[in-house]
Structure formats: structure tokens, C-alpha cells
Amino acid sequence: MFSDVSFVALSSFFPLGISQYILGGIFIGLAVVLGFLFTGKLLGHSSVFSSTWSYISSLRYFHQAHYRKARQWRLLFALGTVLGALIFTVFTGDWFVSSFSWWQLLVGGFLVGFGARYSRGCTSGHGICGMSSLSGMSTTAVIIFMIVAVSTAQLIQFLGAL
């Protein structure tokens, strides 16, 4: 009786099941471990949006050693991320186009880029690399951006604005 109730409660939070989430998490974890063991690098994604600017901008900020020296591998890491998803989708045929409006993506992307670079981390940087390093500051960042993102998304839905 009790287990029936808790099963229904659990599955209502996971309407699509959980196996794809666990499998995906395993691949992501292995990707970060592979990079760390062989090269010592922490593989967050957001830095590429700063380091790549150093190819075309002369702003001194972009030519700090930690961006300029990393710009090549960061771009390759980003390219790999695109291609990894592409190869998977070539096999599954599960092509996808989002229904978000272009300005929603542009504004959201702008804030994500600004916030990630201002706090030096994103979902993969603070969320996976930072938390796995038991960094208190990264864990703080994750808790804050989760709360803000959930509130923002729920508020937008409530207002029916988007």
C-alpha cells in the first residue's frame, strides 16, 4: 500500500523514466574524469565564450593567461560537445528544434553568459567540476542559480508571459 503510493508519487516526478538520465550522467561523468586524468584540466563549458574572444578582440581581459593559453583546447572541447550530440542524433534520428522564441533565447543566453563568466562557472563548471571538487563557493553558486532559475521559470509560466 505504502510502496504503491510512493511509486506513483515518484513516477509522477519522472514521467519519461530515469534510465536516460542515469546513462547520460554516466557519460558526462566519464568525460570529465577522462579529461582530468590525462590532462589535469577541469572541463567546464562557459570559459570558451570568453577564451574564444581572444582570437578577434584586443581587450586585455581576454588575453589573460588562463584564457589565451586555453583557447585552443576550450574550442576543441566545445566542438567535441557539438559533434558528440550530433553523432548520437545521426544514429537515433531524434532531430529536435525548440519552440522557444529567438529573443527569449538571446536574452536568456546573454544573462547566462554574463552570469557564468562573472561568477566563473556554469552548470558544468560549478555544477559538476566545482561540486565534485567539494568547492564551497561552487556549491553556493549552484544552490543560488537553481533557486533563481526555478523561481524565474515558474514566475514566467504563472504570468503566461512567454
Partner 1 sequence: MFATKKNLSYLPLFIIFCSGLLFGLGLAVSQMAKPEIVQSFLLFEDLGLLFVMGVAVLIVLPFYTLYPKISRRSFFGSPLEKYPSLPFRKTVIGAIIFGLGWGIAAVCPGAALASLGIGNYQIIFALIGMFLGSYCVALLQQ
Q: Which of residues 110-149 bind partner 1 (CB under 8 A)?
A: 110-138, 140-142, 144-149
Nearest Cα to Cα of residue 27 among 87, 96, 116: 87
107 is a contact residue toward partner 1 (CB under 8 A): yes
One residue of 1, 9, 95, 160 binding partner 1 per CB under 8 A = 95
Whole-number minimum distance, CB 7 to partner 1, in Å? 15
What is each CA distance from 69 to 41, 66, 73, 81, 160, in whole angstroms? 12, 6, 9, 20, 45
Q: Is residue 9 a contact residue for partner 1 (CB under 8 A)?
A: no
Residue 103 in the binding site for partner 1 (CB under 8 A): yes
**Cα angle at 108 between 15 and 134, to 5 degrees?**
70
2 or 38: CB nearest partner 1? 38
Residue 11 within binding range of partner 1, rule CB under 8 A? no
Is residue 84 involved in binding partner 1 (CB under 8 A)?
yes
26-65 binders of partner 1 (CB under 8 A): 26-43, 45-46, 48-50, 52-53, 57, 59-62
**8 Å CB contact between 142 and 44:** no
Taking the least distance from each CB to partner 1, the nearer of 2 and 118 is 118
CA distances from 111 to 22, 107, 129, 145 (A): 29, 6, 21, 12
Cα-trace Rg, the chain: 19
